[in-house]
Amino acid sequence: MTYEPATAMIEAHGLVKQFSDRKRGPIRAVDDVSFKVEAGQVYGLLGANGAGKTTTLRMLATLLRPSAGTALVAGHDIVREPGLVRASVGFLAASTALYGRLTAREMIAYFGRLNGMEDSLIRARTASLAAELDMGEFLDRRCDRLSTGMKQKTSIARTLIHDPAVMILDEPTLGLDVIAARAVLSFVRDCRTRGKAVIYSTHVMAEVEKLCDVIGIIHGGRLRAHGSLAALRAEYRETDLEEIFVGIVSRPEGVAS
Amino acid sequence: MNGRAIATVYVKELTDTLRDRRTILSTLLIPTIVMPLLMFGAGRIAAGVVARAREEIPSIMVLGGEDSPGVRASLGHSEHFHVIPPSPNWRRLISDKKVRAAVEIPAGFEAGLGSGASSAVSVYEYRGELKSGLAAQQIVHFLDDLRDRTIASRLEARGLSADLVKPFKTRTVNVAPPEKVGGNLIGGVIPYVIILLCFTGAMYPAMDLTAGEKERGTLETLLCSPVGRAELVAGKFLVVLTGSLTAMTCSLISMGASLFLGGMLAGGSGSMVRSAGMAGAPNAELPFLTIDPLGLVGVVGMVLPVAVLFSAVLFTVALFAKSYKEAQSYVAPLIFIVIMPAVAGLLPGVELSGRLALVPILNLTLVCKEMLSGVWNWHYMAIIFVSTAVYAAAALALAVRMFNREDVLFRS
């Protein structure tokens, strides 16, 4: 891995997201989260359900507006230039679905046009993505008739059509079988190879161990620890990531590195 | 605002919508069928029922009058009804529609006619029932005739002219142009149906493009594209509006076609637009009423801002819902809110006024009634058009605001 003049593609500065809940009052789903992801790096955001992973990533993708703090994504401020941020980001989540009544090709082309691409460029990109992801046989089938794996490939092609510099992936393997999940992981590696900055959230330890250059452990809305797998192992004197994770999240707050 | 982005969203949503069977049904099919069904079906059935009721010779009962054989005999000879033997449970028989009506002749009736006395004859009917009413009407006609003849013979016996008790006659003459009559009868119904179709035409696209997208998880996908929220709302809203206007256009075309066909079937007599009218025809034939075709053009013009209003309101309400089902439960009560003022406009005696011109939907029904009967109240039309456009703009602004609220977009 080359860490040349650190080109941070994602820089989160004290991100806070507060929701108001009718019963429980205000809730800080994300509380003062800061981190950096460089080009060609995969940052794994590891946390249990409800830890604040999705909220953090939705803020980076400008779907949610931070209550405080901000972030620079591909050099654009998520609060002041949300349109420019979205143009340089590919966002894929377990909850982002496809239009069932469109074909895979139409779906990809729609997002190309939404990104302001010309039709000729969309055609060329679709052809190369379809070849890469092996989508040829189902490209003209309606999305609601595709298998889960085919849908995931279509979603990936949809996020990549405008060749974004930053990929934001929110539990992209959730609900996938082993084969489809492996395809997603290899796609993430490809992204890294091409120099994209990837932020990847999951609660599956094995994925993080296999994939991520830097790991951030988020719990109760706060980033409790982060560093490379080797650094975390050294710091907590433990080789098993699960043990490290449980150790960190069960500790009282304020001891984060 | 980026025109290309709006066009992209519009084209995609339209394609998507056209592949949805529910929308096709509510936006294209139903509006096309409703008008001819209403005109041919309901109109013809109503006219047919009246005609048949008139053709039917009703069975009646004569109660009492054993000492009035002459009256009884002429009742029996009348070709307008069929007298059946009296029965003590005649009330039941009328209720059960076995007998249409009954007439009770008091004792000494015929003797009284000759002697100059006055008496009371009762006619029994089942009020509200068409055939019973017609039978009672026939009996009353018969009795009126008998009374007139009795008066004449009484006056003659005294050497006086029958005109003594009839110093003058009255007759009523219609001076309203035929469009006016047509406008009042069907003028109320046409805008009402158009309003309803405008609403139902927008209903399914509105729910599908908002709550439907949330439910299927595609809204989140769409929101991470660089297109601005205002452009997304504009593109989606225009599809909803297209649904509304398509429903209206379909209904108007099919209405025009059925009026034209109806006119041809009846053997054209020069009137351009004609229609089978409502019940209450003076004779057994279908009454053909003319409506002003220019009035129809006016109706379309006045319906436009209402279509925008409906589309924006439906869009906003459905956007708030988490799922298609939830959206349906919000939209269903809205139908009543649309129907109530539309029906109020159909009530006789409700006329346009400065205040009513500001009530959305009701004002439209009222002004359409006038336009279809050839009355053009330009200043009211201006008030109605502008006020509805203002409401529509407010609803649209609200839709954009809602689309910028993350607690609405990500409700869970």
- The answer to whether A99 contacts B218, with C-beta atoms less than 8 Å apart, is yes
Least confident of A56-60, A138-142, B260-264: B260-264
- The answer to whether B226 contacts A116, with C-beta atoms less than 8 Å apart, is yes
For the whole model, what pTM was predicted?
0.78
User: Which H or E run includes B399?
Assistant: helix B378-403
Sequential DSSP letters for B221-272: HHHTSSS-HHHHHHHHHHHHHHHHHHHHHHHHHHHHHHHHHHHHHT---S-S
Helix (H, G, I), strand (E, B) or coil at A166: strand
Which chain A residue lies closest to B218 (C-alpha atoms)? Answer: A97
Sequential DSSP letters for B169-181: -------S-HHHH
Which chain B residue lies closest to A168 (C-alpha atoms)? Answer: B224
| B406 contact A CB<8A | yes
Mutate which of B14, B221, B222, B405 to disrupt the A interface (most A C-beta within 10 Å)? B221
Percent of chain B with pLDDT over 90: 24
What is the per-residue pLDDT across B308-341, written as a single tens digit (0 to 9) for each?
999 999 999 999 999 999 999 999 999 888 888 8
Cβ atoms of B344 and B331 within 8 Å: the answer is no
Percent of chain A with pLDDT over 90: 68
What is the per-residue pLDDT across B26-51, written as a single tens digit (0 to 9) for each?
888 888 887 777 767 766 777 777 78
CA distance A79 to A60: 9
The values of phi and psi at residue A92, to 5°, are -135, 125
Mean pLDDT confidence for A180-196: 90
Mean pLDDT confidence for B17-27: 85
Whether B174 shows a pLDDT value over 80: the answer reads no
CA distance A189 to A167: 12
Q: B275 or B162, which is more confident? A: B162
Asked whether the CA dihedral B240, B244, B247, B250 is positive or negative, the reply is: negative
Mean pLDDT confidence for B104-119: 85
What is the per-residue pLDDT across B352-405, written as a single tens digit (0 to 9) for each?
888 888 888 888 888 887 777 777 888 889 999 999 999 999 999 999 999 888
Whether B114 shows a pLDDT value over 90: the answer reads no
Bridge partners of A11, per DSSP, are A36, A72
Mean pLDDT confidence for B83-112: 88
Hey, what domains does chain B have and what are their CATH numbers? 3-50+178-409 (no CATH), 56-165 (3.40.1710.10)
The pLDDT of residue B169 is 83
Whether B272 shows a pLDDT value over 60: the answer reads no
The pLDDT of residue B377 is 84
| B9 contact A CB<8A | yes
Mean pLDDT confidence for B154-159: 86
